[in-house]
Amino acid sequence: MKARILVVDDDEALAEMIGIVLRNDGFDPVFCADGGQALEIFRSSKPDLVLLDLMLPGIDGIEVCRLIRSESDVPIVMLTAKADTSDVVRGLESGADDYVPKPFKPAELVARVRARLRPGDQKAPETLRIADVTIDVAGHVVSRDSQRISLTPLEFDLLVALARKPWQVFTRELLLEQVWGYRHAADTRLVNVHVQRLRSKIERDPEAPEVVLTVRGVGYKAGS
Amino acid sequence: MVSATKQVPEPADGHPAPAQDSAAPALAPESAPPSSSAAQTALFRARIWGRRARIVNARVVRLVLTGATRLLPAVRYLLRALHRRWRRSLQFRTVLTTLMLAVGSFAVVGAYLSNQIADNLFQERLTQAESETRYNVKQVQDTFDGAQVTDQSSVITLVYDTLNAVEGRGSVIQRRYVFEAMPEQTKPRNRWVESRASDQLTISVIPTDLRKAVQDSGKDQFWASTQFPVGTEDRPGIAVGNKVTFNGTVYELYLIYDLNTAQKTLDEIQNVLLAGAAVLALMIGAIAWYVTRNVVSPVSHAAVVSEKLAAGQLQERMVVKGEDEVARLGASFNHMAASLQEQITQLATLSQMQQRFVSDVSHELRTPLTTVRMAAEVLYDARDEFDPINKRSAELLYHQVERFQSLLADLLEISRFDAGVAMLDAEPTDIVQLIGHVMEGVAPVAAEYGSDVTLNVPAGSIIVEMDDRRIDRILRNLVLNALEHGEGRPVNISVAANDTAVAVAVRDHGIGMTSAEAARVFDRFWRADPARARTTGGSGLGLSIATEDTKLHNGWLQAWGKKGSGSNFCLTLPLRQGETITRSPLQLEPADVGLGGGAGKQMMLLLDRDVAVPGPAAAGPNATAGLDRTEEQP
């Protein structure tokens, strides 16, 4: 089955070009040129992934991202023209899983899309624990005191990666490789922002984390 | 009539000191003849006393010395504080100067006044004394002339009564006398009366000059200042002398007038003058302090305000009161501050607009460029299906779009630095690991050039507070540059750290460059050889961006080169942000140069903090001026 991808971009030429590349690689693109209609089209087309331009007429890309995230866990990859820290971080904080800075290569775009669409491999029945948090890997459920905590697939993958090897300290680069699928080091801000988002959901006190610990100068590890 | 001598009264101090002997107890006067045991005892005592005296002496000296050493720093500190105050406070200086000038002029005026008053008092008393003397001498002479010389006792009584009458009536002695027979008289002398004087007086209180004048003259009157004892004190006085004849014998008669009351009056006047001068000086000091405070306080207020302005508090203004010069100063100062604020705000707005513009251009250019690039790549991927002309066109299009894209990216990055919006996103990161990633990343390029990239590192990890994205960009750029100019010879990366800094040196053994070229290598769009084919398509901005990135970290980026020996780029970063680098852990000029080195595997010497060469690098990066270019942020 072809994965359906919603491309939200106001630049028609770019949207068409992205469509050509995606179709060439076996995806089924759906287009939306206006932020105001993005949510509507998202609901009607039920895409497997959203490619979202940050600067949009109507509603801002970041706002669209927040709206989509509020009702769905579907992977969102931002297309950014600005590589400035503030914009990227704002986009990631509003719920995007990854970003591709313009100008990008077709192969790069496709790789990012594929990485996000990659089905959870080897989802054997498996239960992991970090601190007082229980992770049911196959059921995609995270709970504390039998209370369910809702995570996006990316946050879930991040938590599982840490939980599988609680003895190991993960560098940001290693997490980028394992969770995001980057083969070479990319922007480690991705990791920072998502660890913060993850902490805000699963930690009792995000200021004093117990589940995802920071190892100064190295990276992160699972709490015990 | 005219005074022959005049002596200003002086305090007596020429008295013989009778108490001198007690201080020297060495030999007691009674230890002369009697028994040898008594002499021995005395000697023994003398020795003991001598020793005690020495001990006491030593103690006193020590006490004085310690006191001096204790006090000296305090005194010095006080002097230094005063000196500092003098230098730094206009008010203090003005008040002190005014005080000193006032005291000086008071001293002059006071001295003149008291001198004048003393003179007048003395003259008045002298005139009185002279006329009184004349009268009294005449009286005495008249009495003597009319006297019947019968027997000794009546003569003595007569002379005494006459002379006592001179002292004046009543309980207060108006004047004193000294009555002395003239020496060396040839006439038959009256031996019954030789000399006589008031209580406590002798002929010695009369100055010899005066006696001589009286003796040598006929019947003239002379005067002189003198001192005479009354009770236990010496008093200043005027002695007026003349001759009287009694029964053929010539006598000198001196009348002595007391100046004590005049002296007391003078003392009182001087005290009043002194007190007045002190009070006046204090008042003048206070007035000077008040006046200068009024003038200086707006100035120091202005200084405080301008310091605040300089510190960036642009809304700071001076308080303006009244319409005087100070108020005008305040008003013009405020005017200046206002226009300054306006200009700075305008500049800030301009900078914001520039920033906005750069950001907009960035977005507007990037979107179509993305489309072009993707299209070019699609065409490029399908180039094998094209005829040769179209195929070559697709290839050219693809490569040039790549180049255009990297040029644009670099331009935008530089303009972001120029707009001052580049932010440092520093956190503790392992620089050794980062170098590993860079080496992985450039491996394909290295393979293309046929160069080995080697790494010398002292420790497994060195944690540095840095923006890894920027440091990665710098190092990648340096390594790619080294590969590009390395002519296929090995490229060495060396890392070293000391307590405050870490250094990464990238060394190639390629064509190298002259020191003049090394100095220009960080300039924008600068190329060592303009005629050189731009095969590798760098934008010419890579090292400029690296420089800016280094500046953001408060680090140093230095270049060294020698024609034919390759070049060395050294990046030095502080281990913790906010610290300053005092010296780089690595030497900029490689140690292998001049050792007959061409390409060598282990040419780069590793210097850790213990063996670091205290050469130019230790003396500061500027010591090798001409060879390097220092990039450092104050």
Are A137 and A204 part of one and the same domain? yes
Q: What is the mean pLDDT of each run of 10 residues along chain B (634 residues)?
A: 43 45 45 66 89 92 88 89 87 89 91 91 90 88 81 81 78 79 66 75 86 84 86 86 83 86 88 91 92 85 86 83 83 88 89 76 81 91 91 91 85 79 82 89 89 87 88 91 87 90 90 84 76 59 89 89 87 88 83 49 36 37 37 37
Are A9 and A110 part of one and the same domain? yes
Is the pLDDT confidence value at A78 over 80? yes
- Which chain A residues are Cβ-neighbours of B371 within 8 angstroms? 11, 13-14, 17
Taking an 8 Å cut-off on Cβ atoms, the answer to whether A13 and B368 are in contact is yes
Of A71, A95, A117, which residue constitutes the final position of a domain?
A117
Q: Report the C-alpha gap between A158 and A119 in whole angstroms.
A: 14
CB atoms within 10 A of CB B594: 10
Residue in chain A lying closest to B442 (CA): A184
Are A170 and A199 part of one and the same domain? yes
ipTM above 0.95, yes or no: no
Q: Which CATH number fits domain B423-624: 1.10.1060.10, 3.30.565.10, 1.10.150.20, 1.10.10.10?
A: 3.30.565.10
Q: Could you tell me the two tokens for B138?
A: 């005449």
Is any Cβ of chain A less than 8 angstroms from the Cβ of B169?
Answer: no
Are A146 and A75 part of one and the same domain? no
Are A41 and A8 part of one and the same domain? yes
Is any Cβ of chain B less than 8 angstroms from the Cβ of A189?
Answer: yes
Residue in chain B lying closest to A87 (CA): B359
Is any Cβ of chain A less than 8 angstroms from the Cβ of B370?
Answer: yes
Report the pLDDT value the prediction gives residue A27, as an integer from 0 to 100.
92
- In A81-165, DSSP assigns E strands to 98-101, 127-130, 133-136, 141-144, 147-149
Is any Cβ of chain A less than 8 angstroms from the Cβ of B361?
Answer: no
Contact call for residues A212 and A203 (beta carbons, < 8 A): yes
- Please enumerate in sequence order all residues whose Cβ is within 8 A of that of B227, keeping only pairs 6 or more positions apart, or say none: B9, B10, B12, B205, B234, B235, B236, B237
Residue in chain B lying closest to A183 (CA): B441
Of A88, A117, A146, which residue constitutes the final position of a domain?
A117
- Which chain B residues are Cβ-neighbours of A171 within 8 angstroms? 433
CATH assignment at residue A103: 3.40.50.2300
Strand partners, B146: none
Is any Cβ of chain A less than 8 angstroms from the Cβ of B463?
Answer: yes
Identify the domain containing residue A159 by its residue range: 127-222
Place of tokens 């006792």: B153
In chain B, ranges of CATH 3.30.565.10 domains: 423-624
Q: Report the C-alpha gap between A190 and A202 in whole angstroms.
A: 18
Are A30 and A109 part of one and the same domain? yes
Is any Cβ of chain B less than 8 angstroms from the Cβ of A84?
Answer: yes
Is any Cβ of chain B less than 8 angstroms from the Cβ of A104?
Answer: yes
Taking an 8 Å cut-off on Cβ atoms, the answer to whether B378 and A102 are in contact is no
Q: Report the C-alpha gap between A181 and A193 in whole angstroms.
A: 17
Q: Report the C-alpha gap between B627 and B513 in whole angstroms.
A: 10
Is any Cβ of chain B less than 8 angstroms from the Cβ of A173?
Answer: yes
Q: Report the C-alpha gap between B224 and A149 in whole angstroms.
A: 123
Are A64 and A151 part of one and the same domain? no
- Alpha carbon of A24: minimum distance to chain B alpha carbons (Å): 10
Taking an 8 Å cut-off on Cβ atoms, the answer to whether B378 and A14 are in contact is no
Are A110 and A173 part of one and the same domain? no
Lowest mean pLDDT among A141-155, A165-179, B22-36, B102-116: B22-36
Of A97, A117, A137, which residue constitutes the final position of a domain?
A117
Portion 123-152 of A in contact with B at CB < 8 A: none
Report the pLDDT value the prediction gives residue B80, as an integer from 0 to 100.
92
Taking an 8 Å cut-off on Cβ atoms, the answer to whether B368 and A14 are in contact is yes
Residue in chain A lying closest to B375 (CA): A17
- Alpha carbon of A114: minimum distance to chain B alpha carbons (Å): 17
Report the pLDDT value the prediction gives residue B535, as an integer from 0 to 100.
53
Residue in chain A lying closest to B371 (CA): A14
- Which chain B residues are Cβ-neighbours of A84 within 8 angstroms? 359, 416, 421
- Alpha carbon of B613: minimum distance to chain A alpha carbons (Å): 30
Are A140 and A68 part of one and the same domain? no
- Alpha carbon of A18: minimum distance to chain B alpha carbons (Å): 8
Is any Cβ of chain A less than 8 angstroms from the Cβ of B630?
Answer: no
Quick check: is A122 in a domain?
A: no
Quick check: is A211 in a domain?
A: yes
- Which chain B residues are Cβ-neighbours of A218 within 8 angstroms? 430
Interface test with B, best of A16, A17, A113 (most B CBs within 10 A): A17
Phi and psi, residue A151, nearest 5°: -125, 150
- Alpha carbon of B606: minimum distance to chain A alpha carbons (Å): 24
Place of tokens 């769009």: B525
Report the pLDDT value the prediction gives residue B616, as an integer from 0 to 100.
37
Q: For residue B593, which of B553, B557, B561 has the smallest C-alpha distance? A: B561
Q: Which CATH number fits domain B127-266: 3.90.1200.10, 3.30.450.20, 3.90.1010.10, 3.40.50.410?
A: 3.30.450.20
Is any Cβ of chain B less than 8 angstroms from the Cβ of A24?
Answer: yes
* CB nearest to A102's CB, from B367, B433, B441: B367
- Which chain B residues are Cβ-neighbours of A185 within 8 angstroms? 437, 441, 472
Strand partners, A30: A6
Per the structure, how many domains does chain A have? 2
Are A83 and A138 part of one and the same domain? no
Interchain CB contacts (distance < 8 Å): A and B: 74
Report the pLDDT value the prediction gives residue B530, as an integer from 0 to 100.
60
Cα separation values, B520 from B322, B413, B536, Å = 59, 20, 20
- Which chain A residues are Cβ-neighbours of B377 within 8 angstroms? 105-107
Taking an 8 Å cut-off on Cβ atoms, the answer to whether B371 and A20 are in contact is no
Is any Cβ of chain A less than 8 angstroms from the Cβ of B425?
Answer: yes
Is any Cβ of chain A less than 8 angstroms from the Cβ of B371?
Answer: yes
Taking an 8 Å cut-off on Cβ atoms, the answer to whether A11 and B371 are in contact is yes
Report the pLDDT value the prediction gives residue B21, as an integer from 0 to 100.
44
Is any Cβ of chain B less than 8 angstroms from the Cβ of A215?
Answer: no
Interface test with B, best of A8, A9, A16, A105 (most B CBs within 10 A): A105
Q: Report the C-alpha gap between B177 and B559 in whole angstroms.
A: 109
Taking an 8 Å cut-off on Cβ atoms, the answer to whether B370 and A103 are in contact is yes
Q: For residue B203, which of B239, B175, B244, B162 has the smallest C-alpha distance? A: B239
Are A200 and A147 part of one and the same domain? yes
Are A146 and A113 part of one and the same domain? no
pTM of the shown model:
0.50
Is any Cβ of chain A less than 8 angstroms from the Cβ of B441?
Answer: yes
The CA-based angle A216-B632-B460, given to 5 degrees, is 35
Q: Report the C-alpha gap between B567 and B611 in whole angstroms.
A: 23
* CB nearest to A188's CB, from B377, B428, B468: B468
